Structures are given as structure tokens and as C-alpha cells.
Amino acid sequence: MNQSLAKDGRLRLRRAAGSASRTLSHLDAPLSRQGWPDDLFPLPLSYFENYMLVDDRPTHPMSIFVDLRLSGDLLRDAFVPAYEQALDRHPLLQCVVQKVRRRWSWVPACDRVRPVVWNSSAGDDLARERNHIDLRTEPGLRTWVEHQPAESRVVFQFHHAATDGLGAVKFIGDLLAIYGQLTTPEGEEAPELQPVTFERLRDRGQLWPDGKPQFEAFKRVLECTWEFITQVPSPIAPPSVSHLYDADEPRFPNMASQTVDKATFRELKREAAKRLVSVNDLYSLVMFQTLRRWNDLHDSNGLRKTLRLGVPVTLRTPLHDDSPCANILSYMALTSFEDDEPEQLLQRIGRRTAQTVGGVDGPVFTLGVGAVVTHLPWIGKFCANRSNYCFTTAVISNIGEVRRALANRFPLKKGRCVAGSVTLEALLGSAPVRPQTGVAIALGTYAGHLFINATCDPHVFTHADASAFLDLYIETLEQLVEETQQVARKSA
């Protein structure tokens, strides 16, 4: 395989003449564990990683699940070596956490990485194997393949302490790019793989760019802490008909997925531009409206008044473009009160977003909560054990454009990424849920469509309940578009 740098600095890999399916020995020497800096490990956990570790529990694993849908024949003899090479580009996925000089730190444990579980028999339920990952004993990645000759599913479980959602998708992008290079026939265009810089892992906990006023950030930590304490939210109402846990119900994750058509997605973007907010702000508004509609149906006592959304906020800058997957993340808290009017609420969401995304509030959550958990672990354990206290009603996250998040260049077929013998048809992701935070919505766009996934606490919601909540969210989203179109027609 020939290797060169493109004009934009990306690593370009071209296939030499040969068979369409190559073995590992035909590749140039891959990035390997010997390429990791000698002094990189042990690597102390960042503030955010410490929080993800403390808030993890067997009943509610702090795991991100990603469900990949592929068309074409996924070749095992190429997928497995591609998986191993992709792993070597992302060290934290091959580490466990240990106490080193009284601090939790990442320590390489490459020999403990679980092999890919490959299944070609229809009807086998691999979901039962998706349970809690104990980072003290095994690295934070598990992978299952459900293979059929014309289509396959690949399910990944990432521990959230090891990576955030964007990092998880970047790992998947590397896996698909390497697999595509191994299986692209001679003379056809192969994916292009970007380089990674292992030293960037030292910068993953950076909370603000150089020159940002740190005093103002600490001041905002105190102000937001006061808001957090005084504006106590309510959890989402459980389904009206309670249920006993059914062993046949999916458990990890309890996720329902739907796709929004291109026309509706375009209208949402137009509506956001017209209101001078981001489309993410509209998604958050609709989430609040959906929660209230759900509670109106299921909360007979009418007690759930104040609602809070947790919204992941990336802290990535151009400095992190070539970073291996990691948590470069914080959170934003959005609050809705009973008497909020939709437009008033939307404008408040927009102001908070402007303060947080790229603003001084960006690192507030990580600096406040993460620092407390790191330096005062007994407080973190006390809060994590309060399973009857609601920190946020729900979570909403948006991975954005999937092709961009994959971080490598792929040949395209009708807007879909081609990786040698397979084409990526869909990438479905789930955010973790925790006690009293019973639902998480995850969004992403791919090939012009908006994919929406609802993950619900399986101890409270059945899979049918998760589907019902997602139906209600999409119905509310479509109503917003329809009402806007009606107003436009009347004004015309």
C-alpha cells in the first residue's frame, strides 16, 4: 500500500496491485502500541472521566452503545485485523483504571481487550451479553457482529469514561476506513485515513483555551451551582401501567429509533434560522414540550412542574482534530418552568447555548462537578448513591453530521460512505441513562436524514414505552413544522 500526504495534510493511503481482500502482512507497518509515547502512561483521569467513573453503576452502566447497519458482505478475515489496527490508534480503549499515587489513572491492559463476538446464526440474542463494564478489570470497549451475507449489524459498547460520543464515532470511522482499504478492489477509490497524535491525550482535559478569564469561569461555577440547588427538577413520569421486568425485554440499551425525512429536516433548519437560534435549540424546546405532554398523560398527581435537560457540550478545538478518542466534553443544564411560554423558553435556551458553546460557561459543569468528584471523592460517592434524587429529567445529545464525525474521507454512494465491500447505511447511538434520569434522546444526520434514538431506563420503561416516547417526540417535532407552515400560508 502506498502512503502519501494530501494537500490538506490528511494521510492518504492507496492500494497497490493485488487481491481485493488483503491480510495484515500486506499493509505498511501499522501504528502500534510501540508507537505510544513511553511516558504517556500512567495517565491520570481528567475531571470529566472521574465523574463518569463515579456515576457508573451496574444497574445503570455509564455506557454509550452504537449500532452500525451495513449493507454488503462484511468479511471477517478483514474486519478483525482492521479492528485491531483501529484499536492501536486509540490507547484509552485498551486501558483499565488503577490507583497510581492515590489518583485514578489509565494503565495499558492490551491483553484484556475482549475479542470481537462474531455471530452468523439468525435468532441468537447477543443483547444478553451487554452488561456493565468494570473499568478496573477490563478496558472500556466491547463489540458484537451479527453477520448475514447481504447485510450486517455491528454493535459497540463504549464506557463513557474512556470516550465521548464523538470519540466513539471517530474510532468507528477509523475501523471502517482501514477495513475499506483492506477490501477495496484494485483500481477503485479507497477511504483515506487521517493521522492521530497520541500526545493529544494530554490535552483532553483542557477546560478553556489560553487567555480565557479563569476567574469568570470559577464565578460561573458558583452561580450555576446555586441554580442547580435551588431549581430542583422532577423526573419524568413513569408509564401509567407499571410493569414487572420481563426477561425478554431488551436491557442494554433499551433503545427505539426512527428516521425523519429530508423535507421535515430542511424545514427544521429553516425554522431555526428564522428564529435566530440553532437547530439544537429547537430540538431542546421540543424535548421539553414532549416531556410535558408525556407527564400530562402519565402524571395523575400533576406534581412534575420544573424540568431540566442535560445537554453534552463538546470542548473540542482545532487542537484536538488529530486526537485519539477521549472525553473532550462538558455539560449544559437547561431548565423549564411550568409557566414558560414556548417562545420565551426558546429564547432562554438560545441565550444559555450562546453562553456555553464556545463561551465562558463551556467548562462550568466539568470544572464544578468533575473537580469536586476528583478532589473530594467522598462527596461524589455520596451524591452518586442518592438514587432517589433527580439531577436532570432527561438528556438530549446531537452527534451532528455523521460523515464529518467519522473524521476520514470515504467514497460516497448516494450520500452514504463506502468502505470496500460494505456501505454504511445507518449509525444509531444511545446516551446513558441514570436513576431518575429516565430518558435520553440522541440525534444525528446522515445522507440527508435525521436519525433520532430514544433510550429509556429499562427498570421503568418497556421497549414499547421507549417507542411510545419517541413517537411523541417526533409527533411534537412535526407539529412545530406544520404550525410554522400554516402561519406562513396565512401570511401569504
Alpha helices by DSSP H, listed for 144-190, are 165-183
Burial class (CB in 10 A: 0-12, 13-18, 19+), 333: buried
Q: Biggest alpha carbon distance in the chain?
A: 71
- The string of DSSP letters for 366-396 reads IIIIIHHHHH-HHHHHHHHT-TTS-S-SEEE
The Cα–Cα gap between 417 and 402 comes to 10
User: How many residues in the chain?
Assistant: 492
Domain locations in the chain as residue ranges: 16-200, 214-407+423-491
Please state which CATH number belongs to domain 16-200. 3.30.559.10
- The string of DSSP letters for 64-88 reads EEEEEEEEE---HHHHHHHHHHHHH
Q: Which CATH class is domain 214-407+423-491?
A: alpha beta
Q: Which of 340, 104, 392 is nearest to 234 (CA)?
A: 392
16-200 and 214-407+423-491 share one CATH topology? yes
CB 46 within 8 A of CB 100: no
* AA letter at 373: V
Handedness of CA 478, 482, 484, 485 (dihedral sign): positive
**Buried-state track 81-94, b at ≥16 Cβ within 10 A, e below 16:** bbbbbbbbbbbbbb
Per-residue pLDDT tens over the stretch 168-220: 999 999 999 999 999 999 989 999 999 999 999 998 987 766 655 566 677 77
Per-residue pLDDT of the chain (492 residues; tens, 9 = 90+): 433 333 333 333 333 333 333 333 333 333 345 589 889 999 999 999 999 998 898 889 999 999 999 999 999 999 999 999 999 999 999 999 999 988 899 999 999 999 999 997 765 555 556 788 999 999 999 999 999 999 999 999 999 999 999 999 999 999 999 999 999 999 899 999 999 999 999 989 877 666 555 666 777 777 777 777 777 888 999 887 655 555 555 577 899 999 998 888 999 999 999 888 999 999 999 999 999 999 999 876 766 789 999 999 998 888 888 999 999 998 889 999 988 899 999 999 999 898 888 777 777 787 777 777 777 776 666 666 666 778 899 999 999 999 999 999 999 999 999 999 999 999 999 999 988 899 999 999 999 999 999 999 998 899 999 999 999 999 999 998 887 666 555 554
The Cα–Cα gap between 272 and 253 comes to 31
